[in-house]
Amino acid sequence: MGGSESLTWGARIREQPFLFVAILAGVLLVLDLIARLAGVEIPMIGGRTFGGQLTFGRFRGLVWNGIVVGLIFGLAGIGLSMTYSILNFANFSHGDLVTTGAFTGWGAALLVAGWGTADTGYLLLVRSGSGPNVNEIGGSIVEAPLGIFLGVVVAAVATILVTVLIDRLVYKPMRDRGGISLLIASIGAALALRYVIQLVYGGSNRGVTSTRDVETELLGLSIDLHEASLVIVAVGLMLGMHLMLQRTKLGKAMRAMADNKDLALVTGIPTERVVTATWIIGGALAGISGYLYVLERGTIEFNLGWFLLLFIFAAVILGGIGSIYGAIAGGFVIGFVHEVSLVWIPSDFNAAAAFVIMILVLLYRPQGIFGGVTTA
């Protein structure tokens, strides 16, 4: 029995040697992590050590950051995944929809939070130009909860409008085209949108959130209220997506279309309406994720979403493109890798590590973790 088992193992290793190496490396990293947390340090060649020093507090901080960032990737990824499965193309303008939501939402939030402290144009354009600083405006969940909440709504609505407008102008005339044509058109749409945003809001990177009193103690834990509201909103939206897909007629129609477009047409599903609904939901989630991302990191710039795009793609591919649960799970993994990899590698490379994970998954499981299941 043991002999035959070892034989199958041997055969498996020979079949996929790189996968075996990857698994081995993963196991080593976990062991190393445990050693670091335990404070064990074993010297190795070249001044490197196995294990080392890592406080539990720092590790917990990294994991928490991973979860927060992962929620953003996952939330933005849902829309990308849906458009990929229903419209059959990789939408490169998705990242700039994230930016659209961030700017429009924060324009509204700052307008409410800082009403009276500065002129309307300055606030609405998210502190473009010169004017009062972030603390004078006071855009935080503590000082202006209504403004922050309104920002979420405005981010969603404005991004939906932009998304639907782009669909009408760019993608609708090209519905019958193949994925690569649409992909190239989406690169054009992304460029145009990104630099319209730059033209309107300016190119500078600036702070928008006030962080006074945002850290509080709750049940003995130190909690950043901005991160907490991000988690609550994001998880709420993800649950909403789950219910929408499983319980509503629209969700059923979406799943049907993702599964087989022609069959959906034949069975009388109003495909064009489902497509519009896809854009609306995807756009809203992208916009809100951009808004929440800025809430967490505090600064905003015009190519924020573009920098996120590859991570979002990584998350979506990792989870299996087309599956929203996959997008959420993939987002967590990519966010986790992005943050926790800082234990081993300098911060020059943590983004590269996330892309490497994406490429590795594409190589060994191109259908992703949740592969084969589309929009379900």
Residue numbers at the binding site for another protein (CB under 8 A): 89-90, 121-122, 124-125, 128-130, 169-170, 173-174, 177-181, 183-185, 187-196, 198-203, 310, 313-314, 317, 346, 348-349, 351-352, 355-356, 358-359, 362-363, 366
Q: Please, where are the H alpha helices in 88-144?
A: 94-113, 120-124, 134-137
Smallest separation, CB 20 to another protein (Å): 16
Instruction: Compare residues 89 and 336 and give the one whose CB is closer to another protein.
Output: 89
> Angle 335-251-179 (CA atoms, 0-180°, nearest 5)?
65
Smallest separation, CB 178 to another protein (Å): 2
Instruction: Compare residues 106 and 214 and give the one whose CB is closer to another protein.
Output: 106
Instruction: Compare residues 128 and 374 and give the one whose CB is closer to another protein.
Output: 128
Smallest separation, CB 138 to another protein (Å): 21
Element (H, E) at 69: helix 56-87
| CA–centroid distance for 79 within its chain | 10
Three-class SS of residue 221?
Answer: strand
Smallest separation, CB 352 to another protein (Å): 5
Instruction: Compare residues 97 and 225 and give the one whose CB is closer to another protein.
Output: 97
Smallest separation, CB 67 to another protein (Å): 23
| Residues ≥6 apart with Cβ < 8 Å to 348 | none
Q: What is the DSSP letter of 207?
A: E
Instruction: Compare residues 314 and 337 and give the one whose CB is closer to another protein.
Output: 314
DSSP string across 280-327: HHHHHHHHHHHHHHHHHH-EE-TTHHHHHHHHHHHHHHHH-TT-HHHH
Instruction: Compare residues 15 and 217 and give the one whose CB is closer to another protein.
Output: 15
Amino acid at 146: L
Give the burial class of 297: count Cβ atoms within 10 A of its Cβ; 0-12 exposed, 13-18 middle, 19 or more buried: middle
Amino acid at 362: L
Smallest separation, CB 283 to another protein (Å): 18
Find out whether 200 and 125 touch, Cβ atoms under 8 Å.
Answer: yes
| CA–centroid distance for 320 within its chain | 15
Instruction: Compare residues 90 and 340 and give the one whose CB is closer to another protein.
Output: 90
Three-class SS of residue 276?
Answer: helix
Smallest separation, CB 307 to another protein (Å): 10
Instruction: Compare residues 206 and 252 and give the one whose CB is closer to another protein.
Output: 206
Smallest separation, CB 183 to another protein (Å): 6
